[in-house]
Structures are given as C-alpha cells and as structure tokens.
Amino acid sequence: MVLAEELAKQQRSISVAEFFEKNKHLLGFDSPTRGVITTIKEAVDNALDACEEAQVLPDIFISIKKVSGEVFRIIVEDNGPGIVPKQVPYVFGKLLYGSRFHQIRQTRGQQGIGISAAVLYAQLTSGVPTIVISRTGAKESAHKFEIQIKIETNEPDIVSEGPIEWDRIHGTRVQIEFKSTMTARKKLIEYLRYTSVVNPHARFRVELDDESFTFERVSQEVIACPVAIQPHPHGIEFGQLKRMAGASEMKLLDFLVESFSRVGKKSAQEMCERAGLKGTLKVKGLSTDDLKKLLAAMQDVAVPAPPATQCLSPIGEELLRRGLEKEFQMDFVASRTRPSSVFSGHSFMVEAAIGYGGKLPPEGNAILLRFANRVPLMYQQGACAITECVTGINWKLYNIPSQGGFPTGPVLILVHVASTNVPFTSESKDAIAGIPEIEKEITLALQDLGRELKNFVSRRDKNKLAEDRARAVCAIIPEIAEKVSEIVEKPLVDTAPIEGKLMRKMIAKKATRDGKVTIELNNYTAQDAEVQVYEISHDNAADAVPNADFVSEMDGQFTKVWKATIPSKEVWKVTFSGKGGGILDVRGIDDAKKMVVDLDV
C-alpha cells in the first residue's frame, strides 16, 4: 500500500537527546524557575560524589549571577579528583553516560543524565556552550572545554578545547548559562541549607548576585566511600540473568558464587539442585528454559541480605543532630538510624530526626525535610512515600497536634533513605515510591522519635510546673512572712528553712530592687557544690561584689561568670548596679538538683 510505504519513509530512530529535548520535565527542567535548582543540584551531586571517591573533604563553590535579561550564569567548582581530559566531553555532552549506573552502591548520581541534561537545557534556552575546566593533579595541566550536545546523535559537540592556567591543584569547574528567573531564590537557599545538613563534612561557599554566605562543615572526618557489591539473587530479573550468563565463560556453580552477593558454595549447590542443573555446566550454554528454572531456584533459596555496611553510607545519629543544630535553633533534637533492610534484593537504610521548639515556627504545618542518598527532595512532597508515612502516624499519641494527619506547631521532621537503588517515582528524582519495606522502616523510626519527643514535652511541662511552684515559694512565702510580721508586730522570720524543706535543691534567685541586681544561691542539698554562675544582660556589673571572674561583651550584651564553692546549707550572693532582665544560669550541678528563679518575671 502507498500509505504504508509513505509511513515507512517517515519512521526513524530517536536519540536519547531528542527524546529529552521534548520531555525536559522528566528531568526536572519543566520551568525556568526550577531549572536553576535542578542544575545546581546535579552539579553539586557530582561534586560531592567525586570528592568522597577521592577521600577529600568537599569544598564547593557555587555562584549564580544574572548576565543579561533573563540569562543567568551558574558556576559550580569543587576540589575533587578532576576528570581525565578525554572523558570530559562525554561526561557533560552525552546523555546516559556515567561510571555509576552499573555499580550497586549508594551514590547521589547514577543514571548519567543529570549534568548533561543541564548542558542540553542551556543549549536549548540560551545557545551558549557549557564551559568545563578540570585538572587531575599538580603535575597535570588544566584543560578547558566548550561543550554542546549533538541532539540528533546524542554525541558531544566540542566547540573548543585546550590547556589553561588554573590555580586549583585538582578539581572541576562547570559554567552553564541559560534563561531563568530567581523567583525561587528562597527555595534555592533552602536546598543549599538542607544539603549542608545531611553532608556535615562539606563546606559550601555561595555567591548569589551580590550576596555571599557560607555553610560551614561540622565534621572534619572524610566519610567512607561505599563499595560496589555484586547483585543479590533475590533482586535479579530474567533479562539481567540472561545477559550475565551470555557474557560469562564460567561453570554454573562458579558463576553463582562469583557473580552474586552472599551466595556461597552450599547455597549455589542448592540452587543447582532445585533447578535440576549440574553445577559443571557452562552457564553460557544454558537454554531459556534452563535460565527460567535457575531464576526460580535463586528466588526460593534463602540467601542472607546484601552487606549493607559496605554498599551504604548512612549519615549517623550524631552527625545528623549536629547538622540540624548548625542550621536550626531548637530546644530538642533526637535522631535514629534504623538497621539496614532489603526490598527486592536492594539494600536500604532509613535515618530520621525530629526537632522541637526553639525558633521553629510556632504555628502552621511542621517542617518536613526529605532526603534520598544525602540529596534533598525539594518537589512533589505530596507524591512521596515519606509524606504518606508522616501523615499516617497518629501524632496526637505523642502530644503533637495535627491537621489532616500532618503534624503542626514548632516541629521539624527529617527522613533520609539511603539505598543502592532508591525507588524514585520518575527520572527527576523528586519523590520516593511507596515500597512497603521502606514505608515500614520510616514509620518505625518516626514512632520511636515520637515517643522520645513525648517524654521531652512531658519533662518540660513538669519542669515548668516545678519552676512555677519554686517561684511561688521564693516570692510569696517571704511576702506572707513580711505581712504577718507587720500584723503581729513581731520580728521578721527567716523563711529560708521553709524553702529548704520544700525544695531540697540548689535555688538560684535573681531580683532587681531600686537599681540593684541581686543574685542569691541557696544550697539546700546535702553536698557542697562547685558551680559557675552565668548572667547575660545589658548590665556590665562593673561594681559587682564579689567581682566577676570573667566578663565579655557582644552587641551590647555582657556575659558575666562567677565561680563559687557553696557548702551544704550555705548561701552565696552577688550584688551589682543594673536594670535586671537577661538570662541567669547555674552550671556544674545536675539539672535535677537545681532551680533557677527570676523573681522579676
């Protein structure tokens, strides 16, 4: 038929670059606003992965500047190992080209699409080639490339290349220009802030137009780079098994032991027996039916989970807390790292943290931070399994209010999923799919943290009640004694013994009368106490009696410190001129054995 022949003439293969040219939204470039964040994310992911593989502490520079009109220039520079010159055009100018796709280990980038997609986006919107400078060592010269992508063939188009003088000993610098807007400036800063939380070993120096700021590292330890492992027999599919068998010259028994994770000779022999195959057969010669029998046997035989300690790199509970405390001021922070688990043969680990109070917004929904392999998930929160797990918990059981299932108030929730194969819902890697095994671990981690937060809130409420009682004892009883003394015309009775019987603690009282500030410590405990008294206010306490052991000033606030040894049942007192206010604290004694009361409040 003529029509069929005409249609045949129009049919041709489509390159990967052509496909993504028309489907930019699949890669996170669905709008100019989002394009900036996606580009920086992909470049920063590559930089962090490279630094960790080279076992160096990441020092990453990020610059976003408006060039003209709607065109922005983005620069990301790292101190990683650099890229061999002959590989640079393919890394940045060819989609689906990378070193991590075939490795089974935790990495940020994996598909070999991200940074080359940013190059493609720049090419489509501004037409300006991407500039890449890379150097692999002090003895090697740096090379500069101007790169675009040949859309029809998905091959790099090298506009120019050559050696260049560069002050870095090793590293990579990427410069991309494309049309965009900075309406998502707040979200961009949030992305960088969140990235610094889950990468506490990295330093990020940022220049955003005329503003400069730094996210400092809180750890000086280089994290251990995950090691690639063999595929697990419970996570393999027929097509992959057939391809592996066709490329192998080994005998079946050796193939099972050498090519798969956690398969020993005993397990391999059992697989062969269940499949009805001899272990001495050449795996390359197995028929399709034989391979199907082998696959079924591999699924049936019990095999230990993959070695998560090798292929995963969790943040750790302590560093997770330190990273959060660096960026958020909270009264309470707790974190959990769950034991490693497996879904479809892929290792994964869930980490979570919860924060409360401090300077978190007191009203509205809680702050939810989602991460996958140390990368913030900034979009599609409603489509993410993490969000479903959060809303699926009855937060009222933990004394946290909620609306529509989502916790409200001064609460921050962080969830990090580390895996050799994070099950994203799309290529843009914005949300995690609802895998039951992952959802179970997230829920267990959040429930554990919820119980700890409930205990904190209960203790805080009890402490507040105790402070209110202490304030009443310290303020009201002396006033009652004074009034009674006037009425009965008797000398004023010392109420300190009554305080001691009621409190049995170290009571620190601060009061301001007639321009004089008095701090008094009554040691009602049974032991002598060596303490440090901290008072922070606008008063310089220059005439303090006794003099402060240490005084410092910052922004008009004076920090005064007195060191005192107070015997049991004795009193220590300091007086100085001032207006009062500020903060009083006593250190060197257990919190359960002290009570600080500001009588001016």
| C-beta of residue 196 within 8 angstroms of C-beta of residue 190 | no
Which of 278, 300, 322 finishes a domain? 300
Sign (positive/negative) of CA torsion 368, 371, 377, 383? negative
DSSP 8-state class, residue 492: P
Verify that 259 and 359 share a domain, yes or no: no
Q: Which position has the higher pLDDT, 133 or 9? A: 133
pLDDT over threshold 90, residue 544: yes
The domain spanning residue 71 has which CATH number? Answer: 3.30.565.10
- Please tell me what DSSP assigns to residue 379: S
What residues contact 132, with CB distance under 8 A and at least 6 apart?
88, 92, 144, 145, 147, 172, 173, 174, 175
Q: Quick one: pLDDT at residue 304?
A: 84
**Which residue, 184, 234, 190, is CA-closest to 72?**
184
Q: Which residue has the tokens 């015997």?
A: 567
In a domain, 480, yes or no: no
Question: What tokens appear for 35 in the block?
Answer: 């394009």
Does residue 487 fall inside a structural domain?
no
Instruction: Mark whether 280 and 333 lie in a shared domain.
Output: no
Amino acid at 48: L
265 with 137, same domain: the answer is no
Cβ partners under 8 Å of residue 318, min gap 6: 335
Tens digit of pLDDT for each residue in 79-138?
989 999 898 888 888 776 655 555 677 777 655 567 888 888 888 888 889 899 999 988
* pLDDT in the model for residue 470: 66
CATH code assigned at 512: 2.60.40.2960
The arithmetic mean of pLDDT across residues 260-264, rounded, is 86
Backbone angle region of 541, left / alpha / beta, with phi > 0 → left and psi within -120 to 50 → alpha: left
Q: Do residue 107 and residue 205 come from a single domain? A: yes
The widest CA-to-CA distance across the chain, in whole angstroms, is: 123
Q: How confident is the model at residue 561 (pLDDT cuts 50, 70, 90)?
A: very high
pTM above 0.85, yes or no: no
Return the CATH number at 379.
3.30.230.10
Q: What's the pLDDT band for 518 if we cut at 50, 70, 90?
A: very high
In this prediction, residue 504 carries a pLDDT of: 75
Reduce the DSSP state of residue 207 to 3 states and report it: strand
Q: What's the confidence (pLDDT) of residue 117? A: 80
User: Per the domain annotation, does 97 fall within a domain?
Assistant: yes
Number of neighbours of residue 458 by Cβ within 10 angstroms: 11
Q: How confident is the model at residue 18 (pLDDT cuts 50, 70, 90)?
A: low
Neighbouring CB atoms inside 10 A of 447's CB total: 16
More confident site: 597 or 351: 351
Q: What share of the chain is helix, strand, coil (3-state, %, to 5)?
A: 35, 30, 35
DSSP state of 360: S
Gap between the Cα atoms of 579 and 121, Å rounded: 62
Q: What are 54-68's pLDDT values in tens digits?
A: 899 999 999 999 888
pLDDT tens by residue, 124-147: 888 889 899 999 988 899 999 998
Residue 77 pLDDT: 93
Report the percent of the chain where pLDDT is more than 70.
89
Structural domain contains residue 467: no
Same domain, 138 and 62: yes
Structurally, the chain folds into a number of domains equal to 4
Note whether 493 and 485 are within 8 A (CB): yes
- Residue 56 domain-assigned (yes or no): yes
Tokens of 249: 């010259």
| Bridge partners (DSSP) listed for residue 573 | 520
Please check whether residues 271 and 291 belong to one and the same domain: yes
% of the chain exceeding 90 in pLDDT: 34
Q: Is 178 in the same domain as 319? A: no
Residue type, 297: A
CB 101 within 8 A of CB 116: no
Q: Which of 172, 187, 215 is the last residue of a domain?
A: 215
Together in a domain, 149 and 255:
no
Residues 251 and 294 both lie in one domain: yes
What's the CATH number where 266 sits?
1.10.8.50
Mean pLDDT of the chain: 85
Same domain, 39 and 187: yes
- Residue 462 inside a domain? The answer is no
The SS3 call for residue 241 is helix
pLDDT at 345: 77
Domain boundary among 184, 215, 246: 215
Q: Is residue 319 part of a domain?
A: yes
Q: What is the pLDDT of residue 71?
A: 86
Q: Above 70 in pLDDT, residue 494?
A: no
On whether both 345 and 258 belong to a single domain, the answer is no
Domain extent, residue 281, equals 233-300
Per-residue pLDDT, 358: 87
Residue 226 lies in a domain: no
Residue 150 above 60 pLDDT?
yes
Whether 208 and 238 share a structural domain: no
Residue 550's DSSP bridge partners are: 561
Residue type at 128 in one-letter notation: V
